[in-house]
Every structure is written in structure tokens, then in C-alpha cells.
Amino acid sequence: MVILAVALLLAVPGGTWAQASQTAAREPGGANLPAQKIGANDLIAVSVYDAPEFTRTVRVGADGLIRLPMLRRRLRAEGLLPAEIEGAIAEALTAEQILVDPAVTVTIVEYHSRPISVAGAVKNPTTFQAAGSMTLLEAVTRAGGLSPEAGPEVLVTRSQPGPDGTLAALTRRIPVKALIDSADPEVNLRLSGGEEVRVPEVGKVFVVGNVKKPGAYPVEDTSETTVMKMLALAEGLAPYAAKQAYIIRRDDRTGAKHELPIELRKIMQRKAPDVPLVANDILYIPDNSGRRTGLAALDKIIMFGAAAATALIYGVAVR
């Protein structure tokens, strides 16, 4: 009998603890994300002590309001911290004489109002919710890091209230070298949601015409991108290249294209300064058609002369 009594005493608390654990696991506030200001479409968990009819998850409406059972009016949740909405719910329950001195707890289950988008020259463009403050480098890492086509800057755009109260987009340019190579904490911005991170592709210069390896070559540093450097990347001039080349450049404001002639031979002979190039320039090296025609005619004369000489020798030999 004593053994049976002890077994019953042990079984009852154990069963009660197991039930309590299962109840806690089902509790709406089980997923408690870092407390930040609540926004539209966020999912919050409301728990009122000793009032299970009010314990539930509530989705914040697009207008920033929430509705709880038995309350006549909807409550504003957007822009409030969880502790602030706790006080608002307790005040509403008391004012409408539903509960006396209620103990309210509000936690965040899901954030849907704090998106951070990472797009452009990254390996896996993505959009995710900021569950707490994070750094720019962490956001780029979540997108798989930079792709090989990434340019020298990262653009971070966030909306800030202007003098008249309207939201204005503010874009900051972050050098990739300072962010990743130098690990400068000053440029590793803190993101809290609502930011757009864009990584533009590196600019390119297009080399076409009489070069050995035509193609598009990246412009990593505009101060060092010149005609001679692009010719080196294109493995030099092909035969019959003209002495004069052209840079075809587009005006970003008007969209018109302009041809800028350059004395290619003089640059290569160091008789003229090297010419800088900018992104989207087209370096065109035309064909020296006159020279090619002259060489072709010379080849024909040589071939004709060789054939005539062979015929003459053959005729003499026959005689």
C-alpha cells in the first residue's frame, strides 16, 4: 500500500508537468522574436492571465489595427512596441469593464512589415524579414555573397521622413573594398527592416574590330581604364588594323551616341597620351582596307610572276 501511494504521488505531478509542457508548447507566445515596433501584417501573440478567451494570435491589419473578442473598438498596434500594446489592451479591457486589472502579455510571432531585399549582382537574390537588427554584411551573406559580376559599390536605400512628413528615399553608396576587404565597421550599416540593398554589376568596355580577342572587359577602376589597357586585355591588334580608332560613347542624358577619333598608332608609339575609357564605351579599331587591298594585289602579282616563270622554264626545258 505504501508503495502504491508513493507511485500515485509521483505519477500525478509527473503527468501534470507533462500536460503543462504541452500547453506551453502550444502557447501562442512560444515564438518570441526580438521586440521591435509592430507594423502592418505582423503576427502577434496576446496572452491575458486567467482569461483564455483572450489568449490567441492576432494578425495586424493593413490599417495597423487589431481586433480582440468582446472589445467594441479596434486597437492601434502599428508603431507600438509589445510593451506599449500590452498597456493599450489592458486599458481597453478595463475601460469597457470586461476585466479588472488584467495582466496582458504581447509577443511577436512573425514579422511581415520589416522586409530587407538584396538584389543585383549577388548569388541568390532574396527578400527576408528582419527579426532584429542585422548588419549589411550579414544581409549580403544571406544572399549568398557577391557574384563575380559585382561592381565596386553596394547601394543601400532606406526611407526616411522628410521635413513635410512624407517619406523620402535616401541612398548611400558603400565601397565593396571597405566593406569586405578592409572590414570597416563604419560602412557595415545596421539594418532594421525596410531597406533595399542593390549590388550593381561592374561596368564594361566593349572592344571590337581588328583585335585578337574582341569582347567585353570589366571596368574595375575608372582611373586606370585606358585604351592601352583594353588593347592589352584584347591581346593586341590584329593584322591590317588602322592607324586611327574610335571611341563610341553614349550620352546618359540625351541617349545620343558620339564618335571620338583617337590616333591609335601615336598612342602606341608614345607620341600621344593614352585616352581614358568609361563604362559602356565601345572601342572600335577599324580595318585598314587600303593596306589589305595593296597586300592582296601584291600577292596576286607574286603568284602571277611565279606562274610565268614556271611556264618559261618549262618551255625552255621542252625545247
pLDDT of 131 above 70? yes
Q: What is the pLDDT of residue 165?
A: 64
Domain residue extents for the chain: 26-110, 115-199, 203-287
Q: What is the pLDDT of residue 279?
A: 86
**Whole-angstrom Cα distance, residue 171 to residue 160?**
10
Q: Do domains 115-199 and 203-287 have the same CATH topology?
A: yes
The rounded mean pLDDT for the chain is: 80
Q: What digits encode the pLDDT tens for the residues 148-172?
A: 889 889 999 988 766 766 767 889 9
**Whole-angstrom Cα distance, residue 187 to residue 166?**
27
For residue 95, what is its C-alpha cell? 475601460
Q: What digits encode the pLDDT tens for the residues 266-295?
A: 988 888 999 999 888 999 998 886 555 444
Q: What is the pLDDT of residue 18?
A: 34
Q: What digits encode the pLDDT tens for the residues 211-223?
A: 999 998 888 766 6
Report in angstroms the alpha-carbon separations of 121 from 136, 140, 251, 301. 15, 10, 25, 57
26-110: in CATH 3.40.50.2300 = no
Domain 115-199, CATH class in plain words: alpha beta
Q: What digits encode the pLDDT tens for the residues 66-114?
A: 999 989 999 999 989 999 999 999 999 999 999 999 999 999 888 888 8
CATH architecture of 203-287: Roll (3.10)
Opening angle at CA 79, ends 197 and 74, nearest 5: 135
Output the DSSP codes for 94-150.
Answer: HHTTSSSS--EEEEEEE--S-EEEEEESBSS-EEEE-SS-EEHHHHHHHTTSB-TTB
